[in-house]
Amino acid sequence: MNSLRNLTRCRRSIHELLFSLQQSRQFVTTHTGIFDKKSIHKKSNTIVPVNVNLPLTWSVCCYAKKAGKEKKGKLSSKVVKPQLTQNEIGDILDLDSVKQSMQDVVNKLKDDYLHVLNIRTTTGAFERVVVHTDDGRFKLSQLAQIEKKSPQLIMVNMSSSPQYTKQVLKSLSETGMNVNPYMEKTTIFVPIPRVTREHREKLAKDAKKMFNQTKTHLDGLYAKHTKTVNSKKKTHSEDLIRNLNNMILDIKQERTAESEKIMEAKQKELLGE
């Protein structure tokens, strides 16, 4: 449409120009003595033919405006995410429960970083170690007496629960505290490594492992919740199901990004940066 308007303006300009030239030609013929076919030169009697009826040509360039020219200022590329209320979701899923379940995973990572993954290992870190047994999950403080024999040695007395000694030994080895416990009868000894650059780097790698475990846990929760939502496809609209799945994905991605930032901060702390 803009190109057509510009072409029309160009045509009008050409017509006006031609009309102006025609008027000029008549003025020259009338006031200078130039006739239609020939003219007498003022300084001689030589007759010079002049053809004033030659066609006039004029080069005119018309430039059309660029189609769809962008307006000044940047356009926002932010995608508007769907937001559903619990009333719209109905009985498909408890969205608050989804958010809380994923936040709990992030909170656990924070707690493990705070109490388990430290440069200076304390007895408090061992007390919070979770032990998996056939009878359930227990904190180490519920199964044993923990004592710091020296700055470089922790002693775990399992005399009150000797049946769980092997499980405790396994749990201590998998804490990510970079320790190598060993057992003598019903007592477990845990040598505390010296703070070296190598020890710091090992802890930083363990922080990454903990983050990967958190990420895997979040992925599992996402798969669980979306499976519940997709099972309602027959009784709810396709748009509602799709939007709800997208909201669950957004929650998972936000919690994953939060966990990654926590990990990066912990690694800097462990490496002394």
Tens-place pLDDT, residues 199-215: 889 889 999 999 999 99
d(CA 88, CA 244): 10
* Rounded Cα gap, residues 80 and 245, in angstroms: 15
Q: Return the structure tokens found at 268.
A: 């800097």
Tell me which amino acid residue 223 is: A
Q: What is the pLDDT of residue 208?
A: 95
Instruction: Give the pLDDT confidence score for residue 44 in this predicted structure.
Output: 45
pLDDT value, residue 126:
85
Given this model, what pLDDT does residue 149 score? 87
Structure tokens at 243: 């939007």
SS3 content of the chain, % helix, strand, coil (to 5): 55, 10, 35
CA proximity to 178, closest of 137, 156, 210, 138: 210
Tokens of 207: 């922080």
**Which helix or strand (DSSP H or E) is residue 87 part of?**
helix 86-89
CA distance 229 to 243: 10
Q: Look up residue 5 and give its two tokens.
A: 């308007």
Torsion sign over Cα 39, 42, 45, 48: negative
For the residues of 110-137, what is the DSSP string, one character each?
A: HHHHHHTS-SS--HHHHHT-EEEETTEE
Residues of the chain scoring pLDDT < 70? 1-13, 15, 17-88, 273
Identify the CA nearest to 102 among candidates 19, 217, 192, 207: 217
What does the pLDDT read at residue 25? 58
Structure token digits, residue 139: 């904190």
pLDDT reported for residue 272: 82
How many residues would you count in the chain?
Answer: 273
Q: What is the pLDDT of residue 39?
A: 44
Residue 246 phi, psi (nearest 5): -65, -35
112, two tokens:
């493990």
